[in-house]
Structure 1
Amino acid sequence: MRIVFIGPPGAGKGTQCELLSKALNVPHIGTGGMLRALEPESGEQIHVRIDRGHFAPDEFVLQMVAERLAQSDSQMGYLLDGFPRTQVQASAFDDQLMAASLKLDHVLHLQVSADVLIERLRKRGEEGNRADDAEEFIRERFRIYEARTAPLLDHYRSQELVRDIDASDSESLVHASICECLNFNPMLSKPVAND
């Protein structure tokens, strides 16, 4: 299964990828975490960008993801969290998949109201997990998401890949909704790929 998760900041993409990764036994590839893990000397400018809620350069992200997907654990599938984030990335990724005679199975669109998202991000910011969750950057992150990432839903809807998920509920209920959407019962069956 090759699945892309799309949703605004705070929608729970990382959490749901972790849960589904264990259920499907495929890697969760989160580009945000990969970028934040860069050594300061090699990624200082990128750290500054993402800490302020901005995106890393497309070319850098595309190369980083291509190298990660070439690793052996990704050959049977993967869950992409935070990629693609721009039309340039989505189009280039389409080309990479086509060149490898592969395709995405699903694009899971996690939907959450703005009020819930802001509360989640404020709470996460107070816990000190991420610099880009600081209150002064939250609205900027939403603005960038709406301008650059949300339009990708039309790109993937044209390929009939998008599955809308109400992600405003508890982690376990959202996970159950995702499994139902994928026709996947972790106890009984395997997921159904998109034909």
Structure 2
Amino acid sequence: MRIIFIGPPGAGKGTQCELLSKALNVPHIGTGGMLRALDAQCENQIHLRIDRGHFAPDEFVLEMVAKRLSQPDSELGYLLDGFPRTLVQANAFDEQLRDSAMKLDHVLHLRVTAEVLVERLRKRSEEENRADDAEEFIRERFRIYDVRTAPLLDHYRKQGLVRDIDGADTADAVHASICRCLELPVRQS
């Protein structure tokens, strides 16, 4: 399966991708982690952008993702977490899929209230020491998501791919909802 996860910062995309990756035996490809892992000296400007809650340049992300998707473990499917984040990226990715005679299976939209998101991000900031989760950048990340990423939902709804998932529950409960949505067996904890 080829699945995109969309949701605001803190919605649980990474957590759910990790769980579903094990269930489907396909790679979880998280662009946020890939960007944070860049050599800080080589990609200093990108780190400055993402540490303040902004997006990396579309062209850079498209190239990075294309390179990752060309690896053998992605041939049978993948879970995309944090890509695409803009309509430019979505349109370019649609074209890449058409050129390679592939298609997306689903776009899972994790819906979570702002109050829950803020609490999750504060906790993650403390536990993982992520600069982009610092309180002064949280609201900016939400604003950027609303302006640049939320429109992707309309883009993919027109293609009949979006499945809305309540992401406010526990990780296991959300995973069970995703499995039911995808008609997969629900794992027992």
- Global fold match (TM > 0.5): yes
Which residue is equivalent to 1:149?
A: 149
- State the match for 1:193 in structure 2: none
1:131 equivalent in structure 2:
131
Structure 2 equivalent of residue 108 of structure 1: 108
Aligned partners of 1:23 and 1:186 also within 8 Å: no
What is the CA distance between 1:17 and its match in structure 2? 0.2
Normalising by the residue count of structure 1, what TM-score does the alignment of the two structures yield? 0.94
Instruction: Report the secondary structure of 1:41's partner residue.
Output: coil
Deviation >6 Å, runs of 4+ = none
Partners of 1:10 and 1:40 lie apart in 2 by 24
Structure 2 equivalent of residue 66 of structure 1? 66
Secondary structure at the counterpart of residue 11 of structure 1: coil
Alpha-carbon RMSD across the aligned residues, in angstroms, is 0.8
Distance in 2, matches of 1:128 and 1:36, equals: 12
Name stretches of at least 5 consecutive residues in structure 2 with no aligned partner: none
In structure 2, what is the Cα distance between the partners aligned to 1:19 and 1:43? 30
**Overall identity of the aligned pairs, in %:** 76
CA contact (8 A) 1:6 1:110 kept: yes
> Residues 101-140 of structure 1: CA distance to partner in whole angstroms, max 9, x if unpaired?
0000000000000100011111111224311000000000
| Equivalent residue number for residue 164 of structure 2 | 164
Q: Is the 8 A contact 1:6 1:108 kept in 2?
A: yes
Residues matched between the structures, number: 187
Residue deviations 1:1-44, cap 9 Å, x none? Answer: 00000000000000000000001000000000000000112211
> Which runs of 5 or more residues in structure 1 are unaligned?
188-195
Give the 3-state SS of the residue equivalent to 1:103 in structure 2.
coil
Letter in structure 2 aligned against 1:134: A
Structure 2 letter corresponding to 1:179: C
